[in-house]
Chains A and B, each alone.
Chain A
C-alpha cells in the first residue's frame, strides 16, 4: 500500500465531491458543463496507455486551455456527426498521492459504459485519471486531467468527454 499523505478530511471530501460532480456532468448531455471543471490554463488529455508508458507524446485528444475544451464542446454540439449515445461513468475512490495547502495530486480508476439506441450497454473506455487539482475561489478545479486508457481498440469513435 502507498503511504497516505496527510490530508484534511474536508479536502478529501471535496475531492470526492469533485469526482462525483464531474462524472454526473459528463454523463448529463450538457457539454457546456464540462470546461467549467478546469482552470483557464489547464491540460486535458485522453491518452492510450501504450503511448503513455512508452513515452510517446501523442494523445487521442490533447487540450492545453479551457478555451480548447470549449471548442471541443462546440464541436460535439454543432459539427461532429455521430450516432447518438448515452455514456455512464463509474469512478473509483480517489487515491491522493500528494496533498499541499492548495494543490493535490490524485488518481482514480474509471470505467465508461456506452449505450446506443436499441443496443446493449457495452464497456466503452476503461482507464485511470491522473489529476492535479487546485483550490480556487470557486472551489476545487482541475489544473490537469490525464485520462490514460487501457482499452486497446476504440469502438469506432469517441465523441463525448471522458
Chain B
C-alpha cells in the first residue's frame, strides 16, 4: 500500500496522514523546508523550554558559553550576582552575531563592529559617539535625543534552572519548567539531577545528516537496541529479560525508557538475536565495570527524551546530556556533554570515562544510531509521498511495562500533530 504515488504524485504539495492516528508517519514530516520553519517557530521558539547547558559549565561570574536554541545563537552567562542569564547573540545595533568564542570569561559583552557594549545581563551600557563629536564649537552627529539605551538591550530569554541544568525560552509567557515536564518526567529528572554539584568531563560533537526528530525517535524506540546494537547483546548488557517500563508526560511529548538489567538464566534463552555469542568475552572487561550507585534506586538505565531539544542519558555509570541542534530539515548537530558528580571518587570518574567508550560519535553502541538516522533520511528524501510504520505494540499510545512497542514514537507524533495542525 502506498508504495506508488497516489493523487499527490511523488512530491506532494502538503503532508498527508493516512488516518487520525500516528502509527504511520508521512516521510514528509522529515523532508519539507517550510514545515521545518514552522517546527522551529512552534517547538523551539515558543511554548517550549529548550536545553542550553549545565550550570557547572559557567561556575564563575563572567563565565559564558555560546550555544543555540533551535537555530538561534545564544549565550549562557553567569552574571556578577551569581545568577544565570541567556541572551541572544545578535547586537541590537546592526544585528551582528558578535560573540565568536564558544566559551570564556568577560566583564561585559562588546560588539567589535561599533563597540556597543552590554552588561552580562544584556543591558546596553555604552554607545560610542552617542552624544556626537564636538568640532569647531558645534556637535556633529550623535544619536537622536529620544534614543534610550534601555530600549536597546540584547534579547533576553526566560531562564529556568533545576538541579544544575539550564533551560531557556524566547517565550516569556511560557509555563514553568516543572509544569512543562509534568510530574512523571520530573521525577526521573530529579533522580539524575538530585542537587549534587556536577563536574564537566568533556564534550563530543557530531553532525548527523538527518532530520532532528529522528534523534528523539531513536531514544523513544526500545525496539532497536537489542537488534541494531549487537555489541550490547554480545556482551550481555541488553537482554530481553530486562525489566522495563516506558513512561510519558500527559501530552506524550517527553518520555522515559526505564530498564533494570536482567540477571537470571542464560542470555540465549531470553534473546532472539541470532548473532548472539554467549561465549564471547571482552579482552578487557573494564568497559563494563559497572558499579551500582545509590541514587539509581534500582534502574540501571534511564533514557529521557525532553521534547524538542535534549536527551538525558543514564546508561549504568555513564551520564550525559545530548543536545539536539537542528540545521535545516535535513541535518542536526549533536553535542554530548559528559559529566559526573562532585562526590565521585577517582575510580568512579575513571569508570564513567571508560564507559563513555560505548557512547558518542565513535561509541560501540551509539555510532550505529547516527548511521541509521542518515540512511532513514535518504529513504525519506527519495519518495516523500510514502510513510513509515510504527505499529509494534499496536496503534495506540500509552505507558507500558515492557519494551516491545513503538508507543513513544506514536505519542510524540500525537503531540506533533496537535501542535502543527493547530490553525492558530
Give the number of chain B interface residues (Cβ < 8 Å). 41
Q: Please tell me if the beta carbons of A67 and B283 are within 8 angstroms of each other in the complex.
A: yes
Q: Tell me, rounded to whole Å, the shortest Cβ–Cβ distance linking A151 to chain B.
A: 9
Q: Please tell me if the beta carbons of A58 and B287 are within 8 angstroms of each other in the complex.
A: no
Give the residue of A58, A64, A68, A156 whose beta carbon is less than 8 angstroms from that of B361.
Answer: A156
Rounded to whole angstroms, the CA-CA distance of A153 and B205 in the bound complex is 5
Contact with B along A37-80 (1 / 0, CB 8 A): 00000000010101100101111111111111011000100111
Q: Please tell me if the beta carbons of A58 and B205 are within 8 angstroms of each other in the complex.
A: no
Contact flag A79-B364 (CB < 8 Å), given A51-B202, A57-B353, A63-B357: yes
Rounded to whole angstroms, the CA-CA distance of A46 and B360 in the bound complex is 12
Q: Please tell me if the beta carbons of A68 and B287 are within 8 angstroms of each other in the complex.
A: yes
Rounded to whole angstroms, the CA-CA distance of A62 and B364 in the bound complex is 12
Q: Tell me, rounded to whole Å, the shortest Cβ–Cβ distance linking A36 to chain B.
A: 13
Q: Tell me, rounded to whole Å, the shortest Cβ–Cβ distance linking B10 to chain A.
A: 22
Rounded to whole angstroms, the CA-CA distance of A75 and B370 in the bound complex is 16
Give the residue of B205, B333, B357, B374 whose beta carbon is less than 8 angstroms from that of A62.
Answer: B357
Contact flag A71-B283 (CB < 8 Å), given A62-B353, A155-B207, A156-B361: yes
Give the interface SS of chain B, mostly helix, strand, loop or mixed.
mixed
The residues of A that contact B201 with a CB separation of less than 8 Å are: 56-58
A-B contact count (CB 8 A): 118
Q: List CB contacts (< 8 Å) of A76-135 with chain B.
A: 78-83
The residues of A that contact B361 with a CB separation of less than 8 Å are: 60, 154, 156-158
The residues of B that contact A60 with a CB separation of less than 8 Å are: 204, 360-362
The residues of B that contact A83 with a CB separation of less than 8 Å are: 371, 374-375
Within 8 Å of chain A (Cβ to Cβ): is B203? yes
Q: Tell me, rounded to whole Å, the shortest Cβ–Cβ distance linking A158 to chain B.
A: 4
Within 8 Å of chain A (Cβ to Cβ): is B26? no
Within 8 Å of chain A (Cβ to Cβ): is B206? yes
Segment among B181-189, B227-235, B255-263 that sits at the interface with chain A: B227-235
List residues of B whose CB falls within 8 A of some A CB.
Answer: 102-103, 200-209, 228-231, 234, 275, 282-284, 286-287, 333, 338, 349, 353-354, 356-357, 360-362, 364, 367-368, 370-372, 374-375
